[in-house]
Structure 1
């Protein structure tokens, strides 16, 4: 039977045990004295004394063992919180984005609002509600300076809003012919957007019209990514094709082979030399940067659709999707590390905080959960390339941020 350490009431338990013990000892002492005086009971024999002594020692051992368990329970309960509390929304959450400069997270919901929350280990506090769009939001993202928050929605509108004042800085109505699905911030006030019909546009916030307009597919543009140089933009599509665009030449650079599933999310690793792409069939495809035509390696990430990923270190990625479980995987070499956290329902998006201490995930539960991932730097440095992988053990291993506990592991230090 699993023990819920948080429900253990330390104060009431200590007080109750103390009261019962005191009352029992006094009453027992008085009754024993009366029995010996009235009934003239013989003294216990030597064998009886030895038996009683052994029983007392056994009881003492049991009490010591029980004390150790109680101490462990109290220690578990009294551990300081190492991540912000969960944010629960009244409306379905579509996307989340951490500020790149401070403890602030933006939450986009299905009614078209952007909610700004300050967070700490002690609390999450709603500081502003931006009522921006007439239809469901699709994506929200801070610019690289953290001063502007961009949002897109099913109403085909792109908005740029000042984070401090909440005032609108730029608005593009009917920015696309189809609802905008994805958005990526670039340097110098530029953004790129992709819509449900496979069209990608590059915008400069100082100009009223897009710099270029490219039709790259017939399906939605699920995700977009670029590196620090920002020469190439890579777009993942619902048609199972990876398309790269030369941003400076304003034209398509390459298109990949057709994959047998939707390409859903992407991340950069190894100093931006490796591109990892997730798919709706749970596969992960690894590409060399600038070699986007064909993957160099592939892995089975999970049995369910991978909807989102976030790079944690140069080697470690966290993925999640339909089953609501956040899994950590070391990619070089490829090895499953364990479960970071979990939701009851599918997870749609992940992001990492500006200081790299937390990742946040949102699910169909209308909640945003935070997970402390500061231990990953240590894990990343001790992975042994030559270590033989125990897949069964790796899959059931739960990392410190996960609330799933293995009881045998927890109590192993008590024996």
Structure 2
């Protein structure tokens, strides 16, 4: 698995839509860009530092010419990815900005730690709309292009839907309190259903035809919080991209999960003791082919120079790959070959070791099954699960500009008992009961 060291903790990662370039936002306030090839080899493209305070969110416009960055400095930065020029909107929010998303030409959104959402026209200095329906941090955005609607999830346990065409600063829909922090959101099945990751590790399913008032299904299984969700690009072989997503959990695993029918396909990446912060997918179809002999202008260090791509990355490099970029609370960006994962997963259907634990080895349950002559595929196996003992040190952000966002390492220990599924505070009318062995098959 290729790794790109960046020298500091990464808060966000985005891929250029057409070129083989990936951008990272760091704890130190730096924004670092790297070019990569189909083998995972990388080169530094540029490094800028709009602020000495942490950069928490990144978003690229449609052609990748402008990169928008937000963070603890409460400012909105626009970085020209060709010239590295930085435009700063000081005091864009009254509190730390947690998320930013480019929606369409001349429109982007930002969300802060107090739950305020603002819409921006990059041609104007001031925001064009402000929403205040949330009272806790904005954790994620989802853009519904067909309806021109923006969906925001919040730590207050609700999500809201805003019509950007409306002149009223009120949402067109606001869900009921889900009694859990909503951390991430992604659409599946042609944007007819939406999956929301929660603090308890439950995936909540919202159905567009049923409205946004409450979820219609709840899928337990993740042992810890689901902090990041990512949809798959269309056209991947051997996988139903319309109903398969990637989940990033605090237990350090990036999983591929098929929804409705629900099935764990395997672990895409393992970050060890570090919780997953963000997931992004780039490369693949439409990326700049690195096997060409054409040169392009790029920044290497402080010098602008013409770089021959064949010389930089090697000849006969015609294969294009989809890369999964995942970041934990560590100082490296991990790249995983997405097509290679599904290809290997198809060839390895027994699932041994796919969760990073031995589900058929030395546990007392598996020994008992052997003595009774039961076959592992037919018997309801009890898998070993990983449990994270979380550090109780709570660092005050206002006391430091950079070290305040550094998490304490987490220790992992084995648990031989049957995995615990988080209990729901209330059972929804249409709730789906998932067997405890949901994640045990692989």
Gaps of 5+ in 2: 233-240, 285-320, 362-442
Structural mapping, 1:340-355, within 5 Å: 340-344=268-272, 345-355=274-284
When Rg is computed on C-alpha atoms for both structures, the one with the higher figure is: 1
**Offset of 1:328 from its aligned partner?**
1.0
Gaps of 5+ in 1: 1-82, 383-389, 409-415
Structural mapping, 1:83-162, within 5 Å: 85-120=2-37, 121-162=39-80
Q: Which residue of 2 aligns with 1:365?
A: 330
Contact 1:133 1:157 survives alignment (8 Å): no
1:173 aligns with 2:90: yes
TM-score of the pair, normalised by structure 1: 0.70
For 1:296, which of 207, 216, 222 is the aligned residue? 216
| CA distance in 2 between partners of 1:268 and 1:206 (Å) | 30
Contact 2:100 2:110 survives alignment (8 Å): yes
Q: 1:83-136 CA deviation, whole Å, 9 max, x = no partner?
A: 6x2012221111111111111000110111100000111511111001112311
Contact 2:161 2:171 survives alignment (8 Å): yes
Contact 1:186 1:230 survives alignment (8 Å): no
| CA distance in 1 between partners of 2:178 and 2:92 (Å) | 30
Contact 1:339 1:397 survives alignment (8 Å): no
| CA distance in 1 between partners of 2:230 and 2:12 (Å) | 14
Q: 1:45-91 CA deviation, whole Å, 9 max, x = no partner?
A: xxxxxxxxxxxxxxxxxxxxxxxxxxxxxxxxxxxxxx6x2012221
Q: 1:312-343 CA deviation, whole Å, 9 max, x = no partner?
A: 22111111121111111111311111111101
For 1:267, which of 174, 186, 195 is the aligned residue? 186
Q: Which residue of 2 aligns with 1:287?
A: 206
Q: Which residue of 1 aligns with 2:242?
A: 314
| CA distance in 2 between partners of 1:292 and 1:164 (Å) | 41
**Offset of 1:397 from its aligned partner?**
5.5
Q: Which residue of 1 aligns with 2:253?
A: 325
Q: Higher mean Cα deviation, 227-236 or 113-122?
A: 227-236
**Offset of 1:190 from its aligned partner?**
1.3
| CA distance in 2 between partners of 1:379 and 1:335 (Å) | 17
Cα distance, 1:406–1:295 mapped onto 2, change above 3 Å = closer
Q: 1:327-381 CA deviation, whole Å, 9 max, x = no partner?
A: 1111131111111110121110100104271111011121110111115777999
Instruction: Compute the RMSD of aligned alpha carbons.
Output: 2.5
Cα distance, 1:185–1:354 mapped onto 2, change above 3 Å = farther
| CA distance in 1 between partners of 2:269 and 2:358 (Å) | 11
| CA distance in 2 between partners of 1:322 and 1:122 (Å) | 25
| CA distance in 1 between partners of 2:264 and 2:58 (Å) | 30
Contact 1:91 1:111 survives alignment (8 Å): yes
| CA distance in 2 between partners of 1:154 and 1:305 (Å) | 23
Aligned pairs, number: 311
TM-score of the pair, normalised by structure 2: 0.66
| CA distance in 2 between partners of 1:164 and 1:142 (Å) | 13
1:228 aligns with 2:157: no
| CA distance in 2 between partners of 1:379 and 1:186 (Å) | 35
| CA distance in 2 between partners of 1:132 and 1:316 (Å) | 36
SS for the counterpart of 1:374 is: helix
Cα distance, 1:379–1:263 mapped onto 2, change above 3 Å = farther
**Offset of 1:228 from its aligned partner?**
2.4
For 2:267, which of 323, 339, 343 is the aligned residue? 339
Q: Which residue of 2 aligns with 1:214?
A: 131
**Offset of 1:143 from its aligned partner?**
1.1
